[in-house]
Each structure stands twice: as structure tokens, then as C-alpha cells.
Amino acid sequence: MQYRIATLSNAAVGIFWGIIEVTVYRIFFIFAGNQTVINTAAFTLPQLISYLWLIQILLALSPHNIEGDLLAKIDGGDIGIELCRPLDLYAHWFARTAASKISPLLLRGAPVLVFALLMPAGWRLGPPDSVAGFLLMLVSCALSLLLGTAYTMLVTSVRMNVTWGNGPMHIILLLGMVFSGAYLPLQLWPDSLQRLLLFQPFAGYMDIPLRLYIGTMRPNEAALGFGLQIFWIFAFVLIGRAIMKKRLRKTIVQGG
């Protein structure tokens, strides 16, 4: 019962937050008329509403925190047990972190998806721009899962052997969320920053898959989005592995 209530409350937060964001952006689009702020926007209102609902559905793909059990092992010294196992510690933790994102995605995302589809016209999640865009979006979401996991593992590697608490870790993860478009769609940022925002690593969490769904990134441009996601996956994995290898050389486990 405890886990079911937690799951339902998490989904309720996503639904409530989605309604708030849709309401706010509808006000701006409807009552701003033909003001410059709307003319420079890269979205139509239906596209933006779909974007906002998809953020709430796919939010679990983005890195919010280090996987709870792994953080407990780092803080409690149980990492010593992990080191006794004949396995690749980075790959083992990578798989655990990825798995910890899939369950919340299904448990939170499914109720939000159903609610978003049942909303009245002008408020609901719209259909994808094209079948090809939808299929490419699914591929991009799979890459987003790997990208978010790779970045979480990089932060996990940095957190090892650190005694100054979790504050800086949360700041690092929060910056990734801001630049993923989760709080403000990247295409609503200033035009002068658009190219930089697309090429920075965190656009691969949310923005690139959602562009493919709503049609602001055409199917023939998907190769660029996939290439950026794959590049940053490999970059984060290589950096995370190097940091973990260095940290493990200095790991000290106390106790008996």
C-alpha cells in the first residue's frame, strides 16, 4: 500500500504540474496577441501543449539523483562488498541506475499519459507530427535513457570519496534539468542561443526526443539529434569511468 500510494502521488504531481504549465502558457499565447514574444516562439500552441505533457510523462528519464541504494553504499562503506565481486563495477552500477529509471517512467508516465489524452480539446496531448517522427522519437527516448544514466554515473563517480555532503551534487544535476528543457522549453530561449542549446549535452534528455514528436525537428534531421546524443553518451561514459577508476584507487573502507 505504501508503494502504491507513493506511485499515485508521484503521478498526481505530474498531472497537477502539467495542468499548471499548460494553463500558464495558454494565457501567454492567447492574451499576448501578436506581440513580439509570441512571434519569435518556435511553437504553435498545440505543439507547446504536447511538449509540456510529454515532459511530465518522460521526466523519469532525466537524472534527478544518484540511485538511492548506490548512494547508501558509498556513504555507509558497503562499497567494499561491491569491490569483492568479480564484475565491472561501473557497468554493474550503470545497469542498476538505468533500471531505476525505467520503473518510475512506466508507473508515473502511464497515468499522466492517459490523463493528458483525456483532457478537453486545446488542453490535451496531441498526436505526433508524423508516424516517422513518432518512431524516431522512441529511438531518441532510448538514447535519452542511456544519456541520463551516463550522466548520473558521472555524478556518482564524482560523489565517491566525498565527505562534503550532497548539496553540490544536487546543483550539478539541477543544471542538467534546466538545460534539458524540462523547466522552460529550449526553443523558447533567445534565438541567439538556439544553436548552442541544441549542441550542449543536456538537450538529449528531453528536447531532442520531443522535437521529433511535435515536428520542430524533421525526420530527415533526426541523424543530427541521434549523433549528438550518442556523442555525449560516450563522452560521459569515458569521463565517468576515468573518474571512478581514479577514486577507487583511493577508496578507504573502515569497519569490521
Q: What is the pLDDT of residues 204-233, one digit of tens each?
A: 989 999 999 998 899 999 999 999 999 999
Higher pLDDT, 166 or 114: 114
Q: Is 126 within a domain?
A: yes
Q: Is 254 within a domain?
A: no
Q: Is 255 within a domain?
A: no
The answer to whether the Cα torsion of 142, 144, 150, 155 is positive or negative is negative
Angle made by CA atoms 99, 100, 102, in degrees to the nearest 5: 65
Q: Is 256 within a domain?
A: no
| List of residues 6+ apart from 225 with CB closer than 8 A | 140, 204, 208, 211, 212, 217
Q: Is 98 within a domain?
A: yes
Q: Is 94 within a domain?
A: yes
Structurally, the chain folds into a number of domains equal to: 1
Per residue in 59-86, pLDDT (tens digit) is 878 877 777 777 777 777 677 777 777 7
Q: Is 237 within a domain?
A: yes
pLDDT-derived band of residue 245, with 50, 70 and 90 as boundaries?
A: confident
User: pTM of this prediction?
Assistant: 0.87
Residue 194 C-alpha cell reads as 538556439
pLDDT-derived band of residue 36, with 50, 70 and 90 as boundaries?
A: very low
Give the mean pLDDT of 29-55: 74
Range of the domain at 226: 2-249
60, 109 contact by CB (below 8 A): yes
Look over the chain and give the mean of its residue pLDDT values, rounded to a whole number.
Answer: 84
Task: Please report, rounded to a whole number, the percentage of residues in the chain having pLDDT higher than 90.
Answer: 31
Q: In a 10 Å sphere around its CB, with 0-12 CB exposed, 13-18 middle and 19+ buried, how is residue 214 labelled? A: buried
Q: Is 91 within a domain?
A: yes
